[in-house]
Amino acid sequence: MEVQDVRVDPQARRVWRGDAEVLLSRKEFDLLHALISRPGEIVTRDELMRDVWQTNFWTSAKTIDVHLGWLRRKLGDDARHPTLISTIRGHGLRFERASSDSFSG
């Protein structure tokens, strides 16, 4: 699957940004896969805890944020002005279909 210039091979668990392969930890890959498989949709933190961490309770309120920070850094997505993964306050995260320069919400 490919969205923007990020390509994911779920079977091989490999990721590329453009032509460069991006090496991710298991949880970083699972987080990216959970988001990129639903481009343009908001994925709630509850869904991420269930799908990525296989838990229905919060082990730490910062777990998702820490892994998201590492993932953004490895993908070269500026946390202050992200174009790949947007934080939708109070709702969750969204992998953008196109550059968020045109994001209005």
In this prediction, what percent of the chain has a pLDDT beyond 90?
75
Answer whether 44's CB lies under 8 Å from 50's CB: no
Reported as a pLDDT band with limits 50, 70 and 90, residue 59 is low
Q: Which amino acid is at 19?
A: D
Domain boundaries, position 25 = 2-102
Domain count of the fold of the chain: 1
Provide the whole-model pTM.
0.89
Burial class (CB in 10 A: 0-12, 13-18, 19+), 52: buried
So what's the pLDDT on residue 26?
96
So what's the pLDDT on residue 6?
97
Q: Look up the CATH number of the domain holding residue 97.
A: 1.10.10.10
